[in-house]
Amino acid sequence: MKRKLSALLIVLTLLFSNAGLVNPVFADDIVEVTQDLNSKISQLPETMLASENVAKTFQQLLDIQEKYNKLSDEEKESVTNYSKVEKLLNPNDDSLNTEFVSQKTSSLKGKTIGYLGSSITVGFRSENVAFPDYIGKITGSTTVKQAITGGPLAKKEGVRDEVSYITQLEDNLSKNENLDALVVQLSTNDTTLGIEMGEVSSSQNKDDYDYSTVIGAMEYIIAYAKEKWNCPVIFYINPYLSDEVIEKFAKENNANIDEIKEAYQNTYEKMIDALYKVQNKWNIGVIDMWNNDAFKNIDIDLRSNYYMADIIHPTKAGYLFWYTPYIQAQLEKELENKSTDEKEHTVTLTQASHNRYDYNALEDGYTTDYSSIMSPQYYVYAGNVNKEEAETLLDQMKIADNLHEWAATIHVITPLNNDQYTQKDADSFIDLLGTGSSNVKVIGIDDGATFVNNYISQECYAVADIMTYGGTMDEGHDYNVPVPAYLSQPCQEAVNYYVKANQAEKGKDNVYLNKENELQRVVVGYNESLAEAFENAWEEVFSKNYRQHNEKTEFYMASAKQYTDPYLLINIPNFKELKINYNPHYNESLNGEGQYTWFEYIPQSTLKMENGSVPLVVSLHGNGNDARLQGETTGWPELAAKENFMVVAPEWQGVVLDSSTHEPGPNFFNCDGLEGDKLIEWIEMLEQKYPQIDASRIYVTGLSAGGSASTLYGAKYSKVFAGVGAVSAPGVDKDELTELVKTYNGGEVPYLYLCGDHDFFGMIPVDLSSKNAFEVAPGVYLPSVDSNVDMFPFIQAYQKINHLTVSEKYDMSLNEYYGIRLDNEQWIKLGVKDTLEGTLSNENGVIMKFAAIKDQAHWNYKPEAQYMWNFFKNYQRDTQTGELIRVDKNNNDKNDDKTNTSTKKPENVKTGDENNILLFGCLALITGGVIVYIKKKEMN
């Protein structure tokens, strides 16, 4: 009986052992297994953070676990330290043992790091423990974690806006007074919610950004952090999701592979591309796990079975052993780099002469979305300082960011006699201005402020603005030139002087304004640091205007020593205040082809208007010019914001003729040109992009060669354009236009031509007799030797197009500038300049208009925009038939754009100029349009 029972027990034992309940090994084998396990466990690192090869260690852990699980409970007791395996496989806070942490040194120690994000920053699948918590414990930094599962970056009404990053930032994270860095998660929630990507803005002001878009939210967060904490911002990107990982997850969870790829791979990659565009602008840090080979090439079993709880969310092991080491290292690196950048943030000056130190941000590699005319030229007078002291002074002023943003130049100028400033220094300032000044800003500090008050104020006809900090001022100076000024800690004599010079009256908050011209302003500040004074000077004065001479000659040819009458103060368009979306586009393809550049000025109001209701003005730049000038110097964007239309300025020229060699060369942006048929194709693209555009009200205008091209395109594409406006246009395209109109059978084309009587090409008078034109040799003027100047064929061509009697030849007795008889001829004030205007009418009414502007050179003049718009808006085009439609046939020549109309010529106006224009040896015979000297900027 006993033998039968024993046999039964053996059978049962074998059965149970095969079921895995009892290990079928003899006692000696058990001892060997447990000893082997104890040996392997003892060789394991105390934490995966100390493991040289996590994947290898993980496989060792799985091997130990598999063998351990085959032991009986009694046998498991012989494995003395198996809890170490469990801790490594299922890490918790204790995994960061004291010994390991205490041995770890980090540059993050003592810093306060903010973390903004959603579920990955939360620790959604790891009991709300994530890498920020581990980094804080490892490095000894303070972690401020603000994250809500499901939150998108963008704050779009009705799309989880209550948990968006913007809401979290403003409502919660902002309560922290100090952050040394802000780490932001690039969440996938925006992709799954279908939030619009948006575009990078040209502004660096947080209030300008549309944070209902992904890019707008990124920029808002960066600008907010800069303003609130002045700290670095670092975005982190999720690890790469390979097709293999997605397919494995989809198969295990019965999910749609294509949907996962679209949301978590394809669209997320577009977000990554957008982030790098933002980085190019803001120079932020990016911790990129998506494009990191170590994350891409990870063992899929290690990733799926150990590091990740699902396709997106890590386990504690994933955070502790995968995310944390990499993010910590990159964060330390980013902050060390930022620390170095801050040390180098001081402007590094070069010694240009014995009494001058210079810095040029453009030459230092900085670019801007604005033309060089908008770039300030700073002249700083701060006494007898050396190079190191000058750099320290600029650092105290915190001017570096401004220099970089605007690609500006700065000169720190010490006394010529190495002691104190005198009249010789004032004379030297005029010499330094040289030729072509535009946006000159003079800053005087202490003794330098006294010099600016007593000397520069008397010779500031070319100075856009002045800022003084401290200093004194003598009495008895002439109030000869109005100049906008910001006065910090001033003496009362200085306040009195600048207020009177600007004919200003006190408003509120120490602001004095001229009622007729608000650019003539004086703002006074007290009890402020030098940095605060400069910041306030920029906001209140410097950012509002530049100054040019475009009266007797062109600003780019105007010597400050020769032209000493007060230059015109001109407003700088503030797109934020105007509520205009300024959208620069560099090297973008058109219908998949080419590399084109253009600039959009879109009033926000027009985006809310009905489709097909918004006019479009296409503005073409002068030969070889920067297309951005057409948005900055014409007045069109400002008017667009007022009248609710859109403005665009393309780089339209494919090639530019060199003024000396006549050889073709690249255009300003070294890209393809939107000329001819390409211009029309581009306009069609704009109509699709902005369905609000009214195709029947598209107008084309341009300066110089752009005006000539506009004249040609108005006839060549008469079904597209409802009106043409040419400014200072020489007859570059007259031959092609003349041939075209021989067989022209299109509709009427309204045509407006404006030109200054001091244009250096000399298009008017049309008999080419101008003595204000460029003198190429004694007594020989440009119109007589350059066949491209003659624009009279433009008049003849448009007379034919518009069914008027074509003038066979000009007759200067009929009109002193245009040589034809004009209706409604009268002198008016265009802005501040006397202008002779007149019209031509056919049986349907006014169809052509001409204006000759006194004391206007070859350049844009902002009042021209309103004048031209008042002409344009009377016409629209039937895009099917090409027929011209008059909006107000009975009143389309009204003079609502001008004042002081008179049929008499002003007594104080001369048709010529007794002063010859200075001959510049650098200018050769110019053909093919206008070449202006404007410093060319390379674009990234």
Find tokens 């309940």 and name the residue: 21
pLDDT of residue 212: 96
Residues 766, 841 within the same domain: yes
Indicate whether 921 belongs to any domain: no
Predicted confidence (pLDDT) per residue in 119-166, tens digit: 999 999 988 999 999 999 888 899 999 999 999 999 999 999 999 999
Residue 114, strand partner residues: 144, 182
Last residue of a domain, one of 295, 323, 341: 341
Verify that 38 and 53 share a domain, yes or no: yes
One domain for residues 71 and 197: no
Q: Point out the domain boundary residue: 341, 374, 405.
A: 341
Residue 484 token pair: 């906008």
Which of 319, 303, 304 has its CA nearest to residue 127? 319
Nearest CA to 796 among 786, 784, 804, 788?
A: 804
Q: Are residues 588 and 544 in the same domain?
A: no
SS3 503: coil
* Domain harbouring 258, CATH code: 3.40.50.1110
Find the Cα–Cα–Cα–Cα dihedral 129, 135, 141, 146, rounded to 10°: -40
Give the chain's length.
940
> How far, in whole angstroms, is CA 507 from its chain's centroid?
33
Q: Which residues of 441-456 are buried (b: 16+ CB within 10 A; e: fewer)?
A: bbbbbbbbbbbbbbbb
Q: What share of the chain is helix, strand, coil (3-state, %, to 5)?
A: 35, 20, 45
Query: Does residue 376 share a domain with residue 483?
Result: yes
**Of 272, 267, 265, which Cα lies nearest the Cα of 287?**
272
Within a domain: 910: no
827 — phi, psi (to 5°)?
Answer: -90, 135
User: What phi-psi label fits residue 244: left (phi over 0), alpha (psi between -120 and 50 degrees) or beta?
Assistant: alpha
Q: Which of 264, 238, 267, 268 is nearest to 250 (CA)?
A: 264
CA distances from 271 to 188, 195, 281, 587, 706 (A): 9, 11, 16, 20, 38
Residue 665 to residue 315: CA distance in whole angstroms: 59
CB 397 within 8 A of CB 530: yes
- Residue numbers of the domain that contains 649: 575-902
Determine contact, residues 895/741, Cβ cutoff 8 Å: no
Segments of the chain with pLDDT less than 50: 1-26, 98-103, 340, 343, 890-899, 903, 907-940
In this structure, the answer to whether residues 521 and 590 fall within a common structural domain is no
Per-residue pLDDT, 901: 53
DSSP calls for 32-86: HHHHHHHHHHHHS-SSGGG-S-HHHHHHHHHHHHHHHHTS-HHHHTT-TTHHHHH
Q: What angle do CA 759, 762, 763 make, to 5 degrees?
A: 105
CATH number at residue 522: 3.40.50.1820
In a domain, residue 694? The reply is yes
Q: Are residues 548 and 623 in the same domain?
A: no
In eight-state DSSP terms, residue 557 is G
| Residues 877 and 799 reside in one and the same domain | yes
Alpha helices in 636-761 (DSSP H): 636-643, 677-689, 705-716, 734-742
Instruction: Please report whether residue 914 resides in a domain.
Output: no
Four-CA torsion 648, 649, 651, 653, nearest 10 degrees: 110
Summarize pLDDT for 460-482 with one digit per residue, the tens: 999 999 999 999 999 999 888 99
pTM of the model: 0.67
Residue 59, amino acid: Q
Q: In the chain, how many domains are there?
A: 4
Do 710 and 760 lie in one domain? The reply is: yes
- The answer to the question of residue 584 being in a domain is yes
CB atoms within 10 A of CB 464: 27
At what angle are helices 492-501 and 447-454 packed, to 10 degrees? 40
Question: Coil, helix or strand for 803?
Answer: coil
Residues 210-224: b if buried by 16+ CB within 10 A, e if exposed: bbbbbbbbbbbbbbb
Q: Is there a single domain that holds both residue 196 and residue 60? A: no
Residue 740 lies in a domain: yes
Query: Following DSSP, what letter does each residue of 389-418 receive, concatenated?
Result: HHHHHHHHHT-HHHHHHTT-EEEEE--TTS
Do 81 and 106 sit in the same domain of this protein? no
* Residue 923 resides in a domain: no
Last residue of a domain, one of 89, 109, 131: 89
299 with 362, same domain: the answer is no
> Does residue 846 sit within a domain?
yes
